[in-house]
Amino acid sequence: MIRDNLSLVSGANGHLGNNLVRFLLQKGIPVRATVRNINNRKPFEGLDCEVVQADITDKASFVKALQGVETFYAVGASFKLWAKDPKKEIYDVNIEGTRNTIEAAAEAGVKRIVYVSSIAALDYTKLPTKESNGYNPDRRDMYYNSKNDGEKLAFELAKKLGIELVAVMPSAMIGSEASLPLNVSYGVLKLIINKQIPVDTKITLNWIDVKDVAEGCYLAAQKGRSGERYILANENCMTITDTTILAHKLYPELDLKVPSAVPKFLLYTIAGIMEFSAKLNGKAPVLTRKDIAMFSGLQQNFDISKSRNELGFNPKKPEYAVKEALEYLMEHKELL
């Protein structure tokens, strides 16, 4: 039996998942939140929601968790750009997770799925990038591959199983409630504050406030057309260097230095050293040669008219998103 409006959010202790839970509760929607580790209750302190254990690699756990659910927000995924074994730790987890959770939702009688994909699943060869461009032809990154192939699989399964599914594609989410470890995007701001980006990589990011993405997910559930994909991003990107300049203006006391420009061969050398160090200590490198090859100079500018017109999506400008995210980090020094 489906409880009226009951929504389930997977990956609910993650950055987007937790902010989405908070948004839905503010809307008066009953929420069931899934986490892999049921003992991790800190992100839910003061929240009136049900917290249950479920793992995207365990289909049975989701069949159980999704009982009585009307709308399933499929947020949970392995979100990282580096791993010792990227196929096993990123690609396989996300593909298996997509299959398991959508099949489980169909078995449990869920009416509608909002599948959280990524701007990684877009084709950047024509700018500004839009949903109709198709999928990303660049196959060099396992996380990107998992989002491209995962979204395709999600639509195929939903059609086959007769369940409504809308895909949303967020860009670099920052701001608001967060806990350690910070996500990849928020982590870039942390690197800036801690002066760990000494050179200009010419890498851009399309900053978006996570609260705007949470609202976009809700709007997709309410207004999105089944079988369609919607970009949840800003129109224009910012380079990491421009973001550093903005941070310096806001917090001159940090004495941030503007990253210096260096030849590309030197960027590759620096990245190679960082990768070698990562293999030794098991910690993700700040920069990889693949990052330089894929993202240096890439313009992440988007046509978001479809999301604006069909969903009513209206995000705050990237400069404001960065300002608020930096304020949050400076107020929560334990995250730095």
pLDDT of residue 275: 86
Helix, strand, coil fractions of the chain, as percent rounded to 5: 45, 15, 40
For 47-57, the pLDDT digits (tens) are: 999 999 999 99
List all residues 6 or more positions away from 206 whose beta carbon is below 8 Å from its beta carbon: 119, 171, 172, 233, 234, 236, 237, 238, 300, 301, 302, 318
* pLDDT at 287 (0 to 100): 86
Arithmetic mean of pLDDT, 97-103: 97
Name the residue with tokens 């199983």: 161
Burial class (CB in 10 A: 0-12, 13-18, 19+), 45: exposed
Average pLDDT over residues 213-225: 98
CATH for 7-175+208-234+301-316 (3.40.50.720, 3.30.300.210, 3.40.640.10, 3.30.160.20): 3.40.50.720
pTM as predicted:
0.94
Q: What is the DSSP code string of 252-275?
A: GGG-PPPPEE--HHHHHHHHHHHH
Q: 159-177: per-residue pLDDT in tens?
A: 999 999 999 999 999 998 8
Q: What type of residue is 89?
A: E
The DSSP H or E segment spanning 18 is helix 15-26
Question: What integer pLDDT is reported at residue 1 of this predicted model?
Answer: 45
User: Considering the chain, what is the average pLDDT of its residues?
Assistant: 93
Nearest CA-CA partner of 324 in 246, 264, 215, 272: 246
What is the structure's pLDDT at 76?
92
Neighbours of 319 (CB within 10 A): 15
Q: pLDDT, tens digit, for every residue of 37-75?
A: 888 888 999 999 999 999 999 999 999 999 999 999 999
Least Cα distance to 238 among 325, 166, 322 occurs for 322
Structure-token pair, residue 183? 């996500």
Per-residue pLDDT of 278-322, as tens digits, reads: 888 888 888 889 889 889 988 999 999 999 999 999 999 999 999
